[in-house]
């Protein structure tokens, strides 16, 4: 998966294996966290990191946030991303979430992909990166 994340953020320095192992262990203990992995004959073709956040609005129904969606270049345009997003929506439905939310890069191709998966650009997102 680290190789795949390298495709997502090619400017990032590789994460040392010990750090990755510690982070993975913390993620796997986090309640409501699911990392979806698309497997193609033993090769990680894509992934989406999902977390269910409890919520005090909307009748107490949770929100599913999706982050780090990436499909390996050699598997793009083969339905992998669409199946990952369908699995994320199913995960949200099974957790009684009222919505699935994600931020997308400012890229027309990416926006077209999410719209084809049934997502709508309904709000403007804001970010503040921390150095």
**Mind listing the pLDDT tens digit for each residue in 62-77?**
999 999 999 999 999 9
- CATH class of domain segment(s) 2-116: alpha beta
End-to-end CA distance of the chain: 25
For 24-83, write each residue's pLDDT tens digit. 999 999 999 999 999 999 999 999 999 999 999 999 999 999 999 999 999 999 999 999
Helices and strands (DSSP H and E) totals, the chain: 4, 4
pTM for this prediction: 0.91
Report the C-alpha gap between 24 and 18 in whole angstroms.
Answer: 10
8 Å CB contact between 71 and 84: yes
């Amino acid at each position: 998966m680290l190789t795949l994340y390298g495709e997502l953020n090619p400017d990032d320095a590789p994460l040392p294996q010990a750090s990755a192992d510690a982070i993975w262990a913390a993620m796997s203990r986090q309640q409501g966290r699911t990392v979806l992995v698309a497997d193609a004959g033993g090769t990680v073709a894509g992934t989406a990191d999902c977390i269910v956040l409890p919520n005090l609005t909307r009748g107490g129904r949770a929100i599913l946030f999706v982050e780090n969606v990436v499909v390996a270049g050699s598997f793009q345009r083969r339905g992998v991303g669409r199946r990952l997003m369908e699995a994320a929506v199913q995960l949200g439905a099974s957790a009684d979430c009222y919505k699935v939310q994600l931020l997308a890069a400012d890229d027309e191709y990416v926006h077209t992909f999410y719209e084809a998966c049934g997502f709508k650009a309904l709000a403007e997102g804001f970010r503040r990166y921390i150095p």
